[in-house]
Chain A
Amino acid sequence: MQVRNSFKLALLKQMLLGFQLSAVSSNSMSVPERKNAIKLSADAAMVFARGSTRWTRGLVAGLSENSNNEDLLRGILGKKYERLSLPCRSSWKIPRSRKILKRCLGLCSRRKKATATQHDVKSGSTLARRLVKKRIQVLKKLLPGGESMAGFSLLDQTLDYAVSLKAQVDIMRRLLKISKASNLNK
């Protein structure tokens, strides 16, 4: 799964806008302030490029907690800021999906027991289920807005988020490369 070029382009544009708005180039900023502005620009740009989904709303909610971030967030997101800040209507995914998810993920490990198992038959599947449960808890903390997600939505949003994050990293790497190159030409 990959992002479209239009996504990357939008990300880059909004990130640069963020740099301009927060005046990262001005000497009046301290190093930590500048780094925060860059990170905030990168995240807000990623949200802008992706549009409305659960993790982007979660991310906006998280970033908005710091009132200092509001101006830059509004500057980059524009009209989208209000829309993304609206309370999320609960997902149509039924609560049972959590059970189905756990059963399925446990089941997958149980099927594999025939091939590779270090544990005895009985504890194998329970251990697998416990591991899966543990990892889902970790995942919920890593994913913006993940605490309110469960089951299918959690996995679906994780995939979406991972792909978007990768694109963010790619764009930042390229920007760094271009910036270095242009610096050398001075």
Chain B
Amino acid sequence: MSSRRARSRQSTSSSRITDEQINDLVSKLQAVLPEAHIRGAERVSAAKVLQETCNYIRSLHREVDDLSERLTELLATTEASSAQAAIIRSLLM
């Protein structure tokens, strides 16, 4: 299959990814970033979107790490966590 791809340098329009699709994706990424509600519809350069996306993902990783640490302290006691599990289960049912 990969040889077929290598041979067909001129791809058919059906499998070609358009600039528009990529632009659309960059817009969607921009919309997900935390600054989105400040910026509104103003378009930012793709390089900026990529940079902010990297920063955003890194900050989310840090948050998960921090939250894990705080949960670690809280869930330390047997009594506490089984009660929490019961509460949450009741919320889910």
B2 CB–A CB distance under 8 Å: yes
Chain A residues touching B, majority SS: helix
With a CB–CB cut-off of 8 A, which chain B residues contact A121?
none
Query: Is B92 touching A105 in the complex (CB atoms < 8 A)?
Result: no
CA distance A117 to B39 in the complex (A): 20
With a CB–CB cut-off of 8 A, which chain B residues contact A179?
71, 74-75, 80-81, 84
A84 CB–B CB distance under 8 Å: no
CA distance A38 to B69 in the complex (A): 9
A74 CB–B CB distance under 8 Å: no
Q: Which residue of A lies closest to B65 (CB)?
A: A39
CB distance from B46 to the nearest CB of A (A): 4
Compute the total of residue contacts between A and B using a CB distance below 8 Å.
172
Interface centre among B80, B82, B84 (most CB of A within 10 A): B84
Query: Is B71 touching A142 in the complex (CB atoms < 8 A)?
Result: no
With a CB–CB cut-off of 8 A, which chain B residues contact A138?
54
CA distance A143 to B64 in the complex (A): 15
With a CB–CB cut-off of 8 A, which chain B residues contact A96?
11, 16-17
Query: Is A12 touching B68 in the complex (CB atoms < 8 A)?
Result: no
Q: Which residue of A lies closest to B50 (CB)?
A: A135
Given A100-B19, A155-B22, A183-B80, A169 contacting B50 (CB threshold 8 A): no
B37 CB–A CB distance under 8 Å: no
Query: Is B54 touching A38 in the complex (CB atoms < 8 A)?
Result: no
With a CB–CB cut-off of 8 A, which chain A residues contact B56?
162
With a CB–CB cut-off of 8 A, which chain B residues contact A151?
17
Contact with A along B1-22 (1 / 0, CB 8 A): 1100100000100011111011
Given A104-B22, A159-B29, A135 contacting B57 (CB threshold 8 A): no
> Can you list 5 residue pairs at the A/B interface with Cβ under 8 Å?
A20-B85, A139-B50, A178-B88, A182-B87, A186-B83
Given contacts A35-B69, A35-B72, A168-B60, 6 further A-B contacts (CB under 8 A): A25-B80, A100-B19, A151-B17, A155-B22, A158-B29, A166-B32
